[in-house]
């Protein structure tokens, strides 16, 4: 039995042949990503990536409702600009591991995948969705921007104009639309969804692991991950600069108080540098 560590906010299961199921486990907060959870994820993913017997990773959320309802707004609402950069970098570390670890990673999106939730899903090699999945990048409605890779990864899934439309409006999309625009590959009934995702993982796990891993590394290298560190840096700093802005305080305060935000114009929008 391989020891992947003990975590407060993660569950890890294994299935033959060589499939690891990594579950976010903060269902009361709809699996929102706070910095403690991001650190646990970074640690667990590094261990999974280094374990030779692992063929495929399936990444999902515990509970009926959510894959990941985004970065944790309770924690983000009081961040300074420099804390904002650091918080974004923590998320980027996790997203980068999902994207670049040589083993295939499948996002099994079982419910809400908003903000950082969609961003973690699009960092995986592909997305399978339950009929209950809901995707979206609602950050601009909180006075911030996507901070875990949405500004450069979403367009790779759905094309540039659609990515802009989704990020600029922050609208939520359901599983069927997500499939129609190429965000997820397939939509499955909620009942038995994880088993369906594991079946897909098995079809990969039965192939030559060395050939599959080589294919992943080359496909990334030849296309999408070009300039990854520069993109991460650009997004993390832009994300941090918006912390302490009027609109960030108003947007996140409104979420906490369960009311609609009243945003200001451009003059008041950027936080202290
Ligand atoms: N952060 C912190 N807590 C969250 C959360 C989040 N992102 N999403 C949900 N929760 C909490 C709620 O505050 C609530 O807690 P309480 O029971 O203590 O009040 C609990 O989870 C259940 O949520 P709701 O009562 O709101 O459940 P709902 O079914 O009415 O709505 C939802 C579900 C539509 C997902 C709604 O919770 C929601 O809109 N969540 C926020 C989604 C969001 O804006 N995500 C993006 C965050 S920004 C980001 O991710 C930045 C980045 O790129 C790094």
Over range 162-186, report the average pLDDT.
Answer: 98
- Where does residue 244 rank: exposed (0-12), middle (13-18), buried (19+ CB within 10 A)? middle
Tell me if 71 CB under 6 Å of ligand 1: yes
Other Cβ atoms closer than 10 A to 249 = 17
Smallest Cα–Cα separation from 87: which of 272, 241, 273? 241
pLDDT at 8: 97
Q: Which residues are catalytic?
A: 119, 139
Q: Does the pLDDT value for residue 271 go beyond 80?
A: no
pLDDT at 273: 40
Over range 154-163, report the average pLDDT.
Answer: 96
Rg of the chain in Å (alpha carbons) = 18
pLDDT at 122: 98
pLDDT in tens, 185-237: 999 999 999 999 999 999 999 999 999 999 999 999 887 666 888 999 999 99
Residue 174's H or E segment, with its range, is strand 173-174
pLDDT in tens, 188-200: 999 999 999 999 9
pTM: 0.96
Distance (Å) from CA 230 to ligand 1 centroid: 30
Atom of ligand 1 nearest to the CA of 73: 1
Residue whose entry in the numeric block shows the structure tokens 């609208």: 171
Atom of ligand 1 nearest to the CA of 72: 1
Which residue's CA is the closest to the ligand 1 atom numbered 20?
A: 29
Distance (Å) from CA 196 to ligand 1 centroid: 27
Regarding beta strands 112-114 and 134-136, do their DSSP bridges make them parallel or antiparallel, or are they unpaired? parallel
pLDDT at 224: 62
pLDDT at 104: 98
Q: How confident is the model at residue 265 (pLDDT cuts 50, 70, 90)?
A: confident
């Amino acid at each position: 039995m391989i020891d992947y560590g003990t975590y407060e906010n993660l569950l890890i299961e294994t299935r033959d042949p060589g499939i690891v199921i990594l579950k976010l486990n903060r269902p009361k907060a709809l699996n929102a990503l706070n910095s403690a959870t991001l650190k646990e994820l970074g640690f667990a993913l590094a261990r999974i990536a280094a374990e030779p017997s692992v063929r495929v990773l399936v990444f999902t959320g515990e509970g009926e409702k959510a894959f990941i309802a985004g970065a944790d707004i309770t924690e983000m609402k009081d961040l300074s600009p420099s804390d904002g950069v650091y918080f974004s970098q923590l998320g980027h570390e996790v997203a980068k591991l999902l994207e670049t670890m040589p083993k295939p990673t499948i996002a099994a999106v079982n419910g809400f995948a908003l903000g950082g939730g969609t961003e973690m899903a699009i960092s995986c090699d592909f997305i399978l969705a339950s009929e209950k999945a809901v995707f979206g990048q609602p950050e601009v409605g909180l006075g911030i921007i996507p901070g875990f890779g949405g500004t450069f990864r979403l367009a790779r899934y759905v094309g540039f104009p659609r990515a802009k439309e989704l990020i600029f409006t922050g609208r939520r999309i359901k599983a069927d639309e997500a499939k129609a625009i190429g965000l997820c590959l397939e939509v499955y009934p909620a009942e038995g969804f994880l088993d369906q995702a594991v079946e897909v993982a098995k079809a990969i796990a039965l192939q030559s692991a060395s050939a599959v891993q080589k294919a992943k590394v080359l496909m990334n290298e030849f296309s999408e991950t070009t300039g990854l560190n520069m993109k991460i840096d650009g997004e993390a700093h832009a994300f941090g600069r918006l912390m302490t802005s009027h609109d960030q305080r108003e947007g996140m305060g409104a979420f906490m108080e369960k009311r609609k935000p009243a945003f200001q114009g451009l003059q008041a929008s950027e936080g202290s540098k």
